[in-house]
Amino acid sequence: MKQLNLTPHIGCAPEDFAKTVLMPGDPLRAKMIAETYFTDAELVNNIRGVQGYTGYYNGKRVSVMASGMGMPAIGIYSYELFNFFGVESIIRVGSAGGIHPDLKLFDVVIGQGACYSSAFVNQYALPGTYSAIADFGLCRKAVEVCEQQGLRYKVGNVLSADNFYSDAVDQTTWAKMGVLAVEMEAAALYMNAARAGKKGLCICTISDLLSGGEAATPEQRQNAFHDMIKVALEIAE
């Protein structure tokens, strides 16, 4: 008999999830990924409308579930997937604001590391400053797929910010240290993966350029994100 509702936020059995879970922020994007790319897709979680699906991509079993916005949200869902549901790898797929001068709209950014302006790390009581990094194997595979598909991409640091709107901070100053883009989840994912002995990777599509003011329309964002999603599906283990 299946053991359901192991946590307050995910209402299914551990075996309902594949070993790799893609995590967009938006529940509707999770639904779109399942309906567009999966065969035999099954809705396995819908608590709080955070939709999770499991199906098959080119014969490979894979899952997708929304993370919500920000480090507290992905912190909850990735922790539970890693520690209660037997998930081995989580690949975040989302949007980011480009701050590196070489980036253009719709470029793919692979987050080799994640700087952060967050207190999320404080829970570990570490006697120093922690570097949040991606799983090297997933990162390398993502680069290989981008090369094979001829995509415009960059690999490097992203900034995981707690604030979408801020009176005090100019996020583009991080570009002086080579940071590529700003998003809101990767650092928490990488920390949870490290603590659980699992794998995490963030792949983002540049949806706007923070220094230049360019931004994609909602329709453009929807279409451009498919490149990033295909990369994540190809490297799912």
Q: How far is CA 234 from the centre of its chain?
A: 15
Listed residue (159, 172, 180) closest to 213, CA to CA? 172
Measured CA to CA, the distance from residue 206 to residue 204 in angstroms comes to 6
Q: Residue 70: helix, strand or coil by DSSP? A: coil
Environment class of residue 165 by beta-carbon count within 10 Å: exposed (0-12), middle (13-18) or buried (19+)? exposed
The span from the CA of 72 to the CA of 28, in Å, is: 20
What is residue 129's DSSP assignment? P
Question: In the block, which residue shows the tokens 């928490």?
Answer: 188
Establish whether 135 is a catalytic residue.
no
Q: What is the DSSP string of 200-231?
A: EEEEEEEEEETTT--B--HHHHHHHHHHHHHH
CB-CB neighbours of 149 under 10 Å: 13
Candidate list 26, 107, 162, 208, residue with the active-site label: 208
Known catalytic residues? 208
